[in-house]
Structure 1
Amino acid sequence: MGDRLRFLLHRIGERLWVRPLVMSLLSVSIVFLVKTVDEYDLGRRVPELSQVSIETLLAIISASMLVIATFAVASMVAAYASASNTATPRCFSLVISDDVSQNALSTFIGAFIFSVVALIALQNGYYDRAGRFTLFAITVLILAMVIVTFVSWVDRIARLGRLGNTIEKVEAVTAAALRRRQAHPTLRGASVVESDPEGRAIYSEWIGYVQRIDIAALQACAETVQLRIRVAALPGTFAAPGRPLAYVTTDTGEVADIDEGPIARAFLIGIHREFDEDPRFGLIVLAEIAGRALSPAVNDPGTAIGIIGSLVRLFALWVDPAEVDGLHGVEYDRVAVPELSLRAMMDDAFTAMARDGAGTIEVVGRLQKALATLASMGDASLREAAIHHSRQVLARAEAVPIPPQELALLRELAALVEQGGVTP
């Protein structure tokens, strides 16, 4: 339930209209709740305020908030376009879900709605003495909140959509996905036993990417008719009518007549990949940003070098047992889920960069040093994958025109990776 709720909240956070709508409804509610103050004997205890002064303040807020809200939307759209153009369109969902920007826009729109509705209620004599005083106090509080929000938002919008900020967001969301998968390598299911029969294949009726797997729903289906389910499509897999999502057998190993619908519906299929439960997608997006930076039109090897550092941090996190938080055993024993392949993740991260940066000595040199660092971390699988990619980097560099002294340096660095040493 917690994973499902987190996934839904992230999808809601990517909708730009949700928070402004909630803030608008809250603003209207406050206007009418202020009237309840007049029901208590507070009129003689609060100072008398001129209705004209409150109307003037509300009119100023209503006029200015509409302009600021329009300016905020224009600035955010420009930031979103910048992120898509300078990084990759795949990071758009991360930029648009920025909490500070969404909260700022919601505050501006909510203040505008509040001031308009309150002004109409005030001009029609809706409030008595206590209500007018309370309304004035709330209006001053909202004005102060708007000022603080605007000042903090200006600093945020100056960074939002910039390449460095986008890379940090992608690295952070990828690290979070890796930690969750590190804590639950099989998504709380059982481990896959290769000797087990595959059984009957279950296919998707939709074409798209697996965004999430409801393991609890698969367990419920399996317990109902005594099934064994083997997941064949992890989050991030492209689902199509010829590619199985899962294989089903009975406890006896025989295929039975079953209702495939509930099993197929446990796999959420969407048009786009999502970062939440798909750590490989974050690695791919980082590699895409590096590939764009290495294109002849951009020619920015510094960005690619920075992303190599991000990738080293992510793989170091993946093999560090100290990062595992809340490791649990098997909760769904009738659902077998394969673990992520470290070799596949390394392919996602480094293959394209080795190809695009083969002729740039500072990039391939940094790649070899990064792979040497990964090879020295004490994990056998990581060392094996690092050596494999080091050989690929060297082979691609040898296939392009590079000065002999630079090629000799790359061979020295590749030898260091083979030895499992650290970078010089």
Structure 2
Amino acid sequence: MLTERFRFLLNRLRDRLWVKPLALCLLSIAVAFVAKFADGTDLAKFTPAVSRDSIEALLSIMASSMLVIATFSVSSMVSAYASAANTATPRSFTLVVADDASQNALSTFVGAFIFSIVALTAVKNQYFEKAGLFILFVLTAFIFGMVVVTFVRWVDRIARLGRMGTTIDKVEQATAAALKRRCKAPNLCGVPLSSQAGAKTGQPLVCATKVGYVQYIDMAALQSWAEQNQARVVIAALPGAFATPDKTLAYVIAESVEHTKIDCTAVAGAFQISGSRLFDDDPRFGLVVLSEIAGRALSPAVNDPGTAICIVGTLVRLFTLWSEPVEEQQPPKYDRVEVPELSVRDMFDDAFTAIARDGAGVVEVAVRLQKAFGSLAASGDADIRQAADYHRGLALKRSRMALDLSEDMQAVEDASKYANKPTESADRK
């Protein structure tokens, strides 16, 4: 029951740039003193003698160079973060910051610097004997080699970090991961809404105590509270919903008259609310971010329809992933918590409305949208097929109002007619 909570907290630590460098700094200090344990063993009889001056020289080179490289890596990462926010969308910043390769590189450089400073100070104060000096030399050579390999790999990664293609890939991966988790647990491991959940009159309402977005729902805490109070909790605000004190987060259904007056403070506390949306449990946020990237590319200042076309292909992949059958769907673990499923129509609105509006006057984008809707309409999922048909007609209306050249409009209509054929054949089946 603590797995999901632990995953949420772990992902929040990944978003903090200082966590890994701090951990590596503490580890490097411990490694610097590991060599001292060799002095109390018989290892000195078998180890060759290593000059103290050679170790000091190697550590001095590492100490001076690692500080420069660490400073350079920080400046390069900041430039990449700014590039991702300016070229794509500021909402992609958290994904770029959480890049493992960049964090590992910065942690390695800072850890090597701290190791060299601590080890150099210990060597100059005659802290190590013969065996300790040999082990310290081996550790120094190993760390130096690790730094070289990390730097070479990091140079290739930092050259791509913050670029449009890399940012789109990161958003797609985060959205696909959230979609897969939701496919396996469409009700967040709770149970679907019952008929009783629709009769909300007279039921205790649980409202937000502050303004923000729902980031995470502690289903285990809600289940525990419901069992103690002999009640059922009906979720009204999924992760990603904007919460205000006048909006309902959940409804409480008491199982008996004696439990109608119960304290629902713990129910509100199970909703993690903050000022920004997260990708983890909010698949719609990833679709919104991809739509924002396409919208910026279609703006007159950027005028990059190719990026918008790339985003349309990405959205088709994501919705195709959503429509695929799930082999290992998680059984409900929280039988007292009722959770609504994601609305496919809302997901289509998040993904395609802005692109269809801003790209209505760009013939290549309008044609690609019609083809994309045709592909999605051929899906075996009835909800996706209906949403695709609706947005295909809506996009066609927008193009008729935006396109002035009859030949361009004819191309869009031809694409729409061609895309309509798979749906007709699927309906006949």
TM-score over 0.5 for the alignment? yes
**Cα displacement string for residues 339-379 of structure 1 (whole angstroms, at most 9, x for unaligned residues):** 00001000000000000001000001000000000001222
Partner amino acid for 1:349?
A
Determine if contact 1:390/1:417 at 8 Å carries over to the other structure: no
Partner amino acid for 1:13?
R
**1:229, distance to aligned residue in structure 2 (A):** 0.7
Partner amino acid for 1:16?
L
Match of residue 98 from structure 2? 97
Does residue 88 (structure 1) correspond to residue 89 (structure 2)? The answer is yes
How do residues 207-226 of structure 1 correspond to structure 2 at under 5 angstroms?
207-226=211-230
**Cα displacement string for residues 309-348 of structure 1 (whole angstroms, at most 9, x for unaligned residues):** 0000000000000xx2531222111110000000100000
Residue 351 of structure 2 is aligned with which of 335, 349, 363?
349
How do residues 392-403 of structure 1 correspond to structure 2 at under 5 angstroms?
392-403=394-405
Does residue 16 (structure 1) correspond to residue 20 (structure 2)? The answer is no
Unaligned runs of 5+ in 2: none
Aligned pairs, number: 421
Match of residue 35 from structure 2? 34
**1:422, distance to aligned residue in structure 2 (A):** 9.6
Match of residue 304 from structure 2? 300
d(CA) in 2 for partners of 1:400, 1:142: 61
Determine if contact 1:368/1:414 at 8 Å carries over to the other structure: yes
Q: Secondary structure at the match of 1:284?
A: helix
Match of residue 262 from structure 2? 258
Residue 336 of structure 1 is aligned with which of 338, 342, 353?
338
Q: Secondary structure at the match of 2:250?
A: strand
Match of residue 364 from structure 1? 366
Q: TM-score, normalising length from structure 2?
A: 0.96
Does residue 204 (structure 1) correspond to residue 205 (structure 2)? The answer is no
Percent identical? 54
**1:403, distance to aligned residue in structure 2 (A):** 1.0
Q: CA RMSD in A?
A: 1.4
**1:132, distance to aligned residue in structure 2 (A):** 0.4
d(CA) in 2 for partners of 1:255, 1:381: 39
Determine if contact 1:249/1:255 at 8 Å carries over to the other structure: no
**1:87, distance to aligned residue in structure 2 (A):** 0.2
d(CA) in 2 for partners of 1:152, 1:158: 10
Partner amino acid for 2:116?
S
d(CA) in 1 for partners of 2:4, 2:415: 43
d(CA) in 2 for partners of 1:149, 1:18: 18
**1:193, distance to aligned residue in structure 2 (A):** 2.3
Match of residue 376 from structure 2? 374
Q: TM-score, normalising length from structure 1?
A: 0.97
**Cα displacement string for residues 57-115 of structure 1 (whole angstroms, at most 9, x for unaligned residues):** 00000000000000000000000000000000000000000000100000000000000
Q: Secondary structure at the match of 1:221?
A: helix
How do residues 180-191 of structure 1 correspond to structure 2 at under 5 angstroms?
180-191=181-192
d(CA) in 1 for partners of 2:407, 2:381: 32
Does residue 173 (structure 1) correspond to residue 174 (structure 2)? The answer is yes
**1:409, distance to aligned residue in structure 2 (A):** 2.3
Determine if contact 1:383/1:420 at 8 Å carries over to the other structure: no
Moved more, 54-63 or 414-423: 414-423
d(CA) in 2 for partners of 1:367, 1:254: 56
**1:8, distance to aligned residue in structure 2 (A):** 1.1
Partner amino acid for 1:286?
L
Unaligned runs of 5+ in 1: none
Determine if contact 1:190/1:330 at 8 Å carries over to the other structure: yes
d(CA) in 1 for partners of 2:193, 2:297: 39
Does residue 318 (structure 1) correspond to residue 319 (structure 2)? The answer is no
d(CA) in 2 for partners of 1:55, 1:375: 69
Match of residue 234 from structure 1? 238
d(CA) in 1 for partners of 2:171, 2:258: 45
**Cα displacement string for residues 144-177 of structure 1 (whole angstroms, at most 9, x for unaligned residues):** 0000000000000000000000000000010000
**1:195, distance to aligned residue in structure 2 (A):** 4.5
**1:125, distance to aligned residue in structure 2 (A):** 0.5
Match of residue 3 from structure 1? 4
Match of residue 163 from structure 1? 164
Match of residue 286 from structure 2? 282
- CA separation of 1:127/1:141 partners in 2, compared to 1, >3 Å: closer, same or farther? same
- CA separation of 1:127/1:139 partners in 2, compared to 1, >3 Å: closer, same or farther? same
Q: Secondary structure at the match of 1:235?
A: coil
Match of residue 405 from structure 1? 407
Q: Secondary structure at the match of 1:332?
A: coil
d(CA) in 2 for partners of 1:229, 1:416: 47
Q: Secondary structure at the match of 2:360?
A: coil
